[in-house]
Amino acid sequence: MWNSLLAFWDQYHGLIIGFAVLALVLFVNQFIFRRGWKSYPAREQYVAAHPGSATAGGVVCAKCRQKAAGMAVASAGRIYRCTWCETELYRVDRA
Ligand SMILES: [Zn+2]
């Protein structure tokens, strides 16, 4: 039984560790986003502070003009961040 478990680990440990790290990063991110939730500007504040970031296709990053990617934050709302410069742009509170 242990042998097959060991063989399984040998074969998939890269994958298992990869998933564990990914889960940990997502978990830590949730914690960080929730903790600093009010420090992120609301969508309206971001647009007001960065004129021109609101385009017909949605709000874009003021720095690199890339569309922000939304990410759900449990019991808080959604955070929009630029995946190019790794910056949090604005938050949308849960309705
Ligand atoms: Zn950016």
Torsion of CA 35, 41, 83, 22, to 10 degrees: 10
What does the pLDDT profile of the chain (95 residues) look like in tens digits? Answer: 789 999 999 999 999 999 999 999 999 999 999 999 999 999 999 999 999 999 998 999 999 999 999 999 999 999 999 999 999 999 999 98
The pTM (predicted TM-score) of the whole model is 0.78
Sheet holding 87-93, edge to edge: 69-73, 77-82, 87-93
Backbone φ and ψ for 73, nearest 5 degrees, come out as: -120, 120
The neighbour count for residue 61, using CB atoms within 10 Å, is 21
What spacing in Å lies between the alpha carbon of 23 and ligand 1's midpoint? 24
- Cα(89) to ligand 1 centroid in Å equals 8
CA 84 / ligand 1 centre spacing (Å): 5
Note whether 79 and 70 are within 8 A (CB).
Answer: yes
Q: Which residue has the tokens 């940990």?
A: 24
